[in-house]
A and B are shown apart, each in its own frame.
Chain A
Amino acid sequence: MDISLQRPFHEDQTFREILNEKKSLVVFVRHPG
């Protein structure tokens, strides 16, 4: 949950911060595109 993730043009955020206590659909892709 505290793993840091990179967002283009933004600061890093932890996964917990990204979920932000909201109902979330998280999709892991093998590669973009």
Chain B
Amino acid sequence: MRERYQEVSATGYQVIIIAPSNRSFLEQFDEAFGPYPFPIYGDPDRALYREMGHVSMAKTKLLLTAGKALLKGGSKTFLPSDEKQQNLVKKAMKTHDIYIQGGSWLFNEQGEVIWSHVDTAPENHATIDQLLEQMK
């Protein structure tokens, strides 16, 4: 998203990222990975995730997918090379509900949902091109 933010922003939509993190973690994340051109908000209790219909996915399926990716690409598939960033991602893996479904939602000015995609698996997320198509 960060790499193609200009294209997305040019559609007139504001971009908002929601993570299942608390403020303290997001502040560390911002210092290690930031700055980002869009705000990242934390929903540590996943209350908004659940209100929007996101649920925790089956752990066995996710672990199987992660195991396959690990065998194919090694740990660099998941972890950045920078030590500070790497430690933070490891911390997230241990402390976050990484089984919660991700997803993308488009809202109009009235706050109504006009399109949504809730990921059925980690690799099932909407691509930037798909989002741009919906935002025309």
Q: A residues bordering B, Cβ < 8 Å?
A: 1, 3, 5-9, 13, 15-16, 18-33
Contacts and interface: CB of A to CB of B under 8 A. Distances in A.
B15 interface: yes
A14 B124 CA distance: 28
A28 B96 CA distance: 14
Given A21-B109, A21-B110, A32 B19 contact: yes
Interface of B: 1, 8, 11-23, 25-27, 29-30, 33, 39-44, 47-49, 51-52, 54, 80, 85, 88-89, 92-93, 96-111, 122, 131, 135
Contacts, number: 138
B49 to A, nearest CB: 6
12 contacts: A6-B21, A8-B29, A16-B111, A24-B14, A25-B131, A26-B18, A26-B107, A27-B105, A30-B20, A32-B92, A33-B88, A33-B89
